[in-house]
Amino acid sequence: MSLVVYAAASLFAVTALLLFRRPRVALRDPLTASTWVSIFLGGLCFFCSAPVTLAAVNDLTGTPNFGAPMTYSVISAYSASLLILLINWRGGPAEQVRRWVVRVATVYSLLIAAIITLFTLASAPVERLRDLDTYYANTPYMREMIVLYLVGHGACALITCYVCLRWSREVTGTLRVGLRLIMAGLSVDLLGFALTKITAVVARWTLHDLDGLSTDLAPPASAVGALLCSAGFALPRLLPAVLDQWHSIWDYRALAPLWAELETVPTAPKPAPPRWQLPRGRLYYREIRILDALLALQSRCDGRVRETAYRQARTQGSAPGEAHFIAAAAMVVDAAHQARQPQSPAGQEPAGTSRLHTAVFSDTGELVQLSRALAKSPVVEAARAGAARAARS
């Protein structure tokens, strides 16, 4: 059981690290900070509830079952963090948000204080690592402590589900998907964890034995529910960044033909890019190099080549916008070929020179269109062949 619980805690830790990759930015943003705290506490709940962790804490403190109030306190803090995260996420007037955050923090702080106080007053000499809730269900003060943390956690699930249900009717896209994941996770947690635990405890009060609900069904249900809930909170914040990186991979590859054409064009020296980069960073450096090369080719761009290529593209059925990129690509190919010829004077502009304004192609999408025209258009290929013949003559 401990291995499964630690695996769930590890997933939470990885998600928390992804969200907290920029600590200074995260700490200044209440929503990012509260998301990170919530996911971190979710992982800590699993870590603390593992039998191996409970046994180690009990041995370290010398107090049997000391891990119980510790785990229940973390669960209560996790419940509070979910509500605070939802408050920050929903937004509203700053003063109202602050007021509700203070209220939630106060209520759950009192709940945690009550849990610790009740455990101090109780007598629980027999260490129980998996079935403490049912074993001490009839023990004074322990009984109240168990009921308190379950009620606090269940109330959080009910309130959050209600707010998410109302909110999901007002929004669309990834936010709605995230809210539905949160509702699904909290429903699993409410029915599979809180309700089964309470049922098993009440069964003990009536001298029945339903301990299996608490020891066998509740832990995996809690893990599934918490993972769904955390995915719902993280998805609207992580998915845009993931999609941006994914699109950057495709754009980086799409720019390969244009970069292959311009790679040998002499440009001003630039600092070497970092060795390890995310796709977005690699795309950025490729764009910078391409724009530098286009700028270096300004004096070699022949307007006659562009005009001829434009007419040919239009004759072949290309739309005006597509023909514009084909003509520019043909002129770039001709200018790059000139730059590779040692006999071509760099400072002398050919007749009919037409400036290639790099600002026109500063957008990633436009550079990608230029690259595709360069790679696929027969008009551009004809311009490349014409430049090669001119160089040989």
Which alpha helices (H) appear in 91-140, and where do they start and end? 94-121, 132-135
Tokens of residue 114, six digits: 């009550």
Measure the CA–CA gap between 201 and 99, rounded to whole angstroms.
35
pLDDT top residue among 199 and 276: 199
In sequence order, the 6+-apart residues with CB closer than 8 A to the CB of 353 are: 299, 301, 302, 303
In sequence order, the 6+-apart residues with CB closer than 8 A to the CB of 24 are: none
Residue among 102, 111, 110, 72 nearest 84 (CA): 102
Look up tokens 């514009």; give the residue.
324
The mean pLDDT value for 118-125 works out to 93
Give the pLDDT confidence of 159-188 residue by residue, as tens digits.
989 888 888 888 888 888 888 998 999 899
- pLDDT tops 80 at residue 22: no
pLDDT of residue 38: 82
7-16, 50-59, 65-74, 348-357: least confidently modelled range: 348-357
163-177, 180-194, 205-219, 343-357: least confidently modelled range: 343-357
pLDDT top residue among 363 and 214: 214
Tokens of residue 76, six digits: 């209560």
Tokens of residue 246, six digits: 């994914």
User: Structure pTM?
Assistant: 0.68
| CA dist 106 → 80, 89, 100, 252, 322 (Å) | 9, 19, 10, 50, 62
Measure the CA–CA gap between 112 and 74, rounded to whole angstroms.
8
Give the start-end residues of each E strand in the chain. none
- pLDDT tops 80 at residue 352: no
Tokens of residue 317, six digits: 């059925």
pLDDT of residue 227: 80
pLDDT of residue 90: 82
Q: Compute the mean pLDDT over every residue in the chain, rounded to the nearest whole number.
A: 84
Measure the CA–CA gap between 142 and 132, rounded to whole angstroms.
9
Measure the CA–CA gap between 178 and 174, rounded to whole angstroms.
6
pLDDT top residue among 148 and 25: 148
Look up tokens 């995310």; give the residue.
278
pLDDT of residue 5: 62
The mean pLDDT value for 340-359 works out to 54
- pLDDT tops 90 at residue 113: yes
The overall longest dimension of the chain from CA atoms, in Å, is 103
Measure the CA–CA gap between 214 and 200, rounded to whole angstroms.
6
pLDDT of residue 237: 72
Side-chain-side CA neighbours of 65 within 13 Å: the count stands at 23
Give the pLDDT confidence of 54-88 residue by residue, as tens digits.
999 999 999 999 999 999 999 999 999 989 988 98
pLDDT of residue 281: 87
Measure the CA–CA gap between 259 and 148, rounded to whole angstroms.
64
pLDDT of residue 347: 47
**SS3 (DSSP) at 353:** strand
Which alpha helices (H) appear in 136-217, and where do they start and end? 142-168, 173-189, 195-205, 211-212
Distance of CA 77 to the CA centre of its chain: 23
pLDDT of residue 16: 62
Q: Is the dihedral of CA 174, 175, 180, 185 positive or negative?
A: positive
For domain 2-242, the question of CATH label 1.10.10 is answered with no
Task: Band the pLDDT of 6: cuts 50, 70, 90.
Answer: low
pLDDT of residue 44: 85
Task: Band the pLDDT of 359: cuts 50, 70, 90.
Answer: very low
- pLDDT tops 80 at residue 115: yes
Helix axes 51-61, 30-49, angle to 10 degrees: 80
The mean pLDDT value for 368-393 works out to 80
E strand or H helix at 140: none
pLDDT of residue 85: 87
3-17, 243-257, 286-300, 379-393: least confidently modelled range: 3-17
Most confident region among 16-20, 41-45, 322-326, 338-342 by mean pLDDT: 322-326
Backbone angles phi and psi of 169, in degrees to 5? -75, -10
Measure the CA–CA gap between 174 and 122, rounded to whole angstroms.
47
Could you tell me which residues are beta bridge partners of residue 353? 302
In sequence order, the 6+-apart residues with CB closer than 8 A to the CB of 225 are: 185, 186, 187, 188, 189, 190, 192, 193
Residue among 236, 28, 205 nearest 134 (CA): 205
Give the pLDDT confidence of 189-204 residue by residue, as tens digits.
899 999 999 999 999 9
Backbone angles phi and psi of 353, in degrees to 5? -60, 140
Domains of the chain by residue range: 2-242, 258-392
- pLDDT tops 50 at residue 52: yes
- pLDDT tops 90 at residue 14: no
